[in-house]
Structure 1
């Protein structure tokens, strides 16, 4: 079957089902939900509802960002728009947090998107799409002091202040690997890098993809170990455990997006290069 034939199967049939059920359009404007009630999650429910609800934290650029006016942007937000358009439903972006995203999945939303790392812990409670990006933990520091923090052992020393956003894989890494450095929790992931710039912290360990983005925004910050990260990670989309039909559809959609130029264009725009799984 050709790529064109696969796309027809993915796009046209679900769109017709959705249109027949609720006269849903094929565009995907974003709205934001503050509350949602638990519901069965599956392709029939999404198509009948005419809306796909996507949980996202809105605090992890370049994948997901929600500004003060509630406007969403980012690589995975754009991917969510593409997914909704091809599915023939509207996109409803639902705010979540790193600590609550697994619990919100299947209750407030049908899928979670936004730089989500594949972990064994999350896999105990949910299922993943196929991975779309390879990543790993690295360090971001002030450029003026970059020579002091070239390795993990350089960072894990008494007196080194490591800032971290709680509730995600950065905190898990710090808890498991830093035994001597002083780890400081900072709750706002949108402004956390200012702690390093303003000398309130020395280092943050986060994903290399985020570091590439942040160092492009602030010339005072430099990345360490970007080409040889401390860990191997992949990013994927998180799906309720029972929604295997959603998983299957998303994997087919993702394969098409990775081969028709959709993902490549977004990766170039947000990451500066095509970075795959």
Structure 2
């Protein structure tokens, strides 16, 4: 009963915080960012090449660079807020950050809780298999069999894709993509399903041990998420994205992380 009562209090507190923000029709994160002189960005470090921990203890990645570039354009300080994935939307809703820049796929269920800016990149789920199984597993359809075990990260679009498209396969879910892919590498799963950029980079590092079925079998636009009811911030983000895509900034950052692997030696 105590646990139930505590859960009700926490849930009520979160909702109250959300309502108080939404109730103020004049509220915009832009005002808070300007007043405090900082852009607080939520992400879950560990998703290559979007956000990762460096050997020096800082954060690095595609999203990190774009976030820093955005903060600089605003004239404010970039403040990283590393957050566990299952708590990242509540962290945004309760004001612990202004924006989620974390390789988050735009989905209908997420869009009911947050507002998304226009997609800044489109990815999809791909598959890692062992060279021994590469001959018999040529697409996700071949994995939809109870004789196969698939690993992926809990609460992600990889998790959703496996449940929806591979209902007959056995599924092992993990809190992090690192643990999920190691389950596969260590031979405890027949395949690993996850976002194509992560799989492409991981397979490049383990060419002799992994076969990458690199054609995505899902369509997943990624977007920056903000609290609902903030059209001014949404307008800023869409215009900012258009600007950096037009002036070459986006391409420069994209090429650094997706067309060059020099950064791999700096990853923790």
Q: Report 1:135-214 matches (<5 A).
A: 135-214=123-202
Question: Which structure 2 segments of 5+ residues have no match?
Answer: 1-16, 22-26, 261-268
Q: CA deviation at 1:139?
A: 1.0
The separation in 2 between residues aligned to 1:252 and 1:117, in whole angstroms, is: 20
Q: 1:231 aligns with which of 200, 218, 234?
A: 218
Q: CA deviation at 1:203?
A: 0.8
How many positions carry a matched residue from both structures? 235
Q: CA deviation at 1:73?
A: 0.8
Q: CA deviation at 1:142?
A: 2.1
Pick closer, same or farther for the CA change 1:165–1:68 going to 2, 3 Å: farther
Corresponding residue of 2:85:
98
TM-score using structure 1 length = 0.79
The separation in 2 between residues aligned to 1:41 and 1:191, in whole angstroms, is: 38
Q: CA deviation at 1:143?
A: 3.1
The separation in 2 between residues aligned to 1:136 and 1:83, in whole angstroms, is: 25
Question: Which structure 1 segments of 5+ residues have no match?
Answer: 1-36
Corresponding residue of 1:9:
none
TM-score using structure 2 length = 0.81
Corresponding residue of 1:132:
120
Q: CA deviation at 1:192?
A: 2.8
Root mean square deviation of aligned Cα? 2.0
Q: Report 1:1-277 matches (<5 A).
A: 41-67=28-54, 70-106=57-93, 107-219=95-207, 220-224=209-213, 226-227=214-215, 229-272=216-259
Q: CA deviation at 1:144?
A: 3.8
Larger helix share, 1 or 2: 2
Deviations 1:120-163 (A, max 9, x none): 11110111111111111121122343222212221111221101
Deviations 1:51-94 (A, max 9, x none): 11100011211111125764111100111000000011001111
Contact 1:99 1:168 in 2 (8 A): no
